Amino acid sequence: MAIKLSEHFTYEEMVASATAKRLGLSNAPDAKSLDNLKRLCQDVLEPLRVKWGRPIVVNSAYRSPAVNKAVGGAKNSDHRFGAAADIRTTTNTREDNRKLFNLAVRMANEGEIECRQIIDEYGYQWVHISINHADNSAKINQVLHLK
Ligand SMILES: [Zn+2]
């Protein structure tokens, strides 16, 4: 049975990693990362999901140090601390992913969610969304577009 971190998001989907599976690496979060994952789900993903009104797909959230290294992630990546998720819509069209991105930015601007960063990754292929946490410099709702 899946463990809920919030109404619509589970522990399993937040720690799922094809890379970990393929390479036989552990992707179990430590207590601090698990706490960040819960805050990410409860404070950001859940309100966004409710307002979006449809399921949101989590491509990747937590990455253990070994998994982060294997995928070539930045050493201080927020994923490494359970503080970031790469999300997309169920249709996964750039148009719909752009709408989800715009909704997140709007909610952040209106104070409905507080993020560290909201990033359009490569023309809305997915949306990176993160929260502030103890192990990275704080940013307030920084919005970026990666090309
Ligand atoms: Zn990301």
Tell me the CA–centroid distance for residue 48 and ligand 1, in Å. 17
Instruction: Specify the DSSP element, H or E, that contains 128.
Output: strand 126-130
Using the mean position of ligand 1's atoms as its centre, give its distance from the Cα of residue 96 in Å.
18
Q: How far is the CA of 129 from the centre of ligand 1 (A)?
A: 7
The predicted structure's pLDDT at residue 5 = 98
Token pair for residue 25? 């690496």
How far are the Cα atoms of 67, 87, 105 from residue 123, in angstroms, in the given order? 25, 14, 16
User: Average pLDDT of the chain?
Assistant: 97
Evaluate whether 128 touches 104 at the Cβ level (below 8 Å): no
Distance (angstroms) between ligand 1 centre and the Cα of 66 equals: 16
Length of the chain, please? 147
Q: Identify whether the C-beta of residue 87 lies closer than 8 Å to the C-beta of residue 100.
A: yes
CA dist 133 and 43 (Å) reads 13
Report CA(77)–ligand 1 centroid distance (Å): 8
CA of 143 relative to ligand 1 center, distance in Å: 13
Q: What is the pLDDT of residues 5-49, one digit of tens each?
A: 999 999 999 999 999 999 999 999 999 999 999 999 999 999 999
- For residue 147, how far is its CA from the centre of ligand 1 (angstroms)? 14
Calculate how far, in angstroms, residue 126's C-alpha sits from the geometric centre of ligand 1.
Answer: 8
Please tell me the distance between residue 69's alpha carbon and the centre of ligand 1 in angstroms. 14
Per-residue pLDDT, 89: 98
CA distances from 71 to 50, 64, 86, 95 (A): 31, 11, 14, 27
